[in-house]
Structure 1
Amino acid sequence: MSKTELESRMLKLNLAPPVMKPKEARTRPSRNTKLAASKVTGKANGSVKTSRGKTTARKSSQTSVKSDPKTAGPSIFSILITRQLARNYVKRFRQGRQQQMIDRPIPPTYQLEPKARFDPLLVKPLIKKVVDARMRTFRYQQTTAALLSKILATECKDAAKTLDYSRYKLVCQVFIGEKKDQSASISSQCAWDTNFDNVVTYNWQSANVYCIVTMHGIYQQ
């Protein structure tokens, strides 16, 4: 059936002839527009288009480990820094004490007896005050116990020096240990003058830690 016959029949049936739309011109996209479109879709969908036309999805896995500050222990770097700071503190403290002894030499007095004898009843309360203040919040650790014993020995001697025991040499020993169902015995022996020299001992204990401080007062003639 030709076109004219179809139009004549449609006119008889009071139908409008179909309107033929002109064909649209097909435009072929260039290569640059294809690459730009593939980049945009790849970023949006997380995929990469290969040279063969296959798309491969990007796989990105990120694992994050969050450490709880309450349960995480100190790092090795912080432990080393703490040790170095403690050594520097002890070194500067000793140098300062040595410089004080050099600046204040004791002149000879030509006296055979001390003005005030070393009294354990007066020294023990001072030692107790120093040890109780330091050991009240102490938690035993091997590294910190060694440093604390040095600090306690120095502070106990400084406290005893406030009683003005001139020409007395004070020797202080501090023992700090952890209680683990064991027994420990500490003894000392020395040769001294029973008329002027004396010793005092203070024993501090808790549920997990013990601290024993022994101080000798030796008169220098």
Structure 2
Amino acid sequence: MAQTHGSKQQAQRLEQGAESLRHGAQAQSRENNVSLSTVSHADEPSQRDESSRLTVRMENTYQLGPTKPFPVATVNHILEDVLTTYLQEAQYDPEFCRQMTKTISEVIKTQVKELVIPRYKLIVIVYIGQRDDQSIVIGSRCLWNPKSDTVSSYTFKNSTFFALANVYAVYFE
């Protein structure tokens, strides 16, 4: 019994020591304006929680065609505005053109997405090349439905380079 009484006293001393450490750390953190954080394992998901979650199933719409046609004229104006704005006074430089193709593609994609055309997948491709008494042929092939899928294109030219921007709009059934 003396041993159990001694172990109880030892456990009480350990608890008191831990309590004083906690209070001391809190007082010290208040003095230094440092927050004291604790970790709770109650927020961690368990395997039981994952199996109890319901999955959301979307129903088929059976919509086989677009409700409104893709606005080709509006997208052509976006292409013209973006290419003219970004490239009007620029000169050909390979590094500059490499960066501008990425930038212009993202700007065009963002502006076309702002039109909120439902169920269309967009592909934006921008080519920039040097004008130096040479020719280039750019071709593309796509498998699509001519009733709902379309392409918008605009070509910009100045004295040192050309730029071609294409936006492919493919209806997603």
Match of 2:82 in 1: 130
Pairwise CA distance, 1:189:
0.9
- Structure 1 unmatched ranges of 5 or more: 1-106
Cα RMSD of the aligned pairs, angstroms, is 1.4
Output the CA distance in 2 between the equivalents of 1:136 and 1:108.
Answer: 48
TM-score between the two structures when normalised by the length of structure 2: 0.63
Pairwise CA distance, 1:122:
1.9
Match of 1:141 in 2: 93
Contact 1:179/1:210 (<8 A) preserved? yes
Contact 1:145/1:176 (<8 A) preserved? yes
SS in 1 for 2:144: coil
> Residues 1-221 of structure 1: matches in 2 within 5 Å?
110=61, 111-221=63-173
Query: In 2 relative to 1, CA 178–108 (structure 1 residues): closer, same or farther, beyond 3 Å?
Result: farther
SS in 2 for 1:125: helix
Greater relative contact order (CA < 8 Å, ≥ 6 in sequence): 2
Counterpart code for 2:91: R
CA-to-aligned-CA distance 1:102-131 (integer Å, 9 cap, x gap) = xxxxx6661222222213222100111111
Pairwise CA distance, 1:183:
0.8
Query: In 2 relative to 1, CA 165–184 (structure 1 residues): closer, same or farther, beyond 3 Å?
Result: same
Contact 1:119/1:198 (<8 A) preserved? no
Output the CA distance in 1 between the equivalents of 2:65 and 2:153.
Answer: 24
Contact 1:127/1:159 (<8 A) preserved? no
Pairwise CA distance, 1:190:
0.8
Output the CA distance in 2 between the equivalents of 1:137 and 1:109.
Answer: 50
Pairwise CA distance, 1:133:
0.4
TM-score between the two structures when normalised by the length of structure 1: 0.49
Output the CA distance in 2 between the equivalents of 1:109 and 1:145.
Answer: 44
Output the CA distance in 2 between the equivalents of 1:109 and 1:122.
Answer: 30
Pairwise CA distance, 1:144:
1.6
Counterpart code for 2:162: Y
CA-to-aligned-CA distance 1:72-130 (integer Å, 9 cap, x gap) = xxxxxxxxxxxxxxxxxxxxxxxxxxxxxxxxxxx666122222221322210011111
Output the CA distance in 2 between the equivalents of 1:120 and 1:191.
Answer: 19
Query: In 2 relative to 1, CA 131–108 (structure 1 residues): closer, same or farther, beyond 3 Å?
Result: farther
Output the CA distance in 2 between the equivalents of 1:148 and 1:208.
Answer: 15
Match of 1:104 in 2: none
Output the CA distance in 2 between the equivalents of 1:137 and 1:206.
Answer: 8
How many equivalent pairs are there? 115
Output the CA distance in 2 between the equivalents of 1:108 and 1:141.
Answer: 51
Identity %: 25
Output the CA distance in 2 between the equivalents of 1:138 and 1:174.
Answer: 16
CA-to-aligned-CA distance 1:21-72 (integer Å, 9 cap, x gap) = xxxxxxxxxxxxxxxxxxxxxxxxxxxxxxxxxxxxxxxxxxxxxxxxxxxx
Query: In 2 relative to 1, CA 145–108 (structure 1 residues): closer, same or farther, beyond 3 Å?
Result: farther
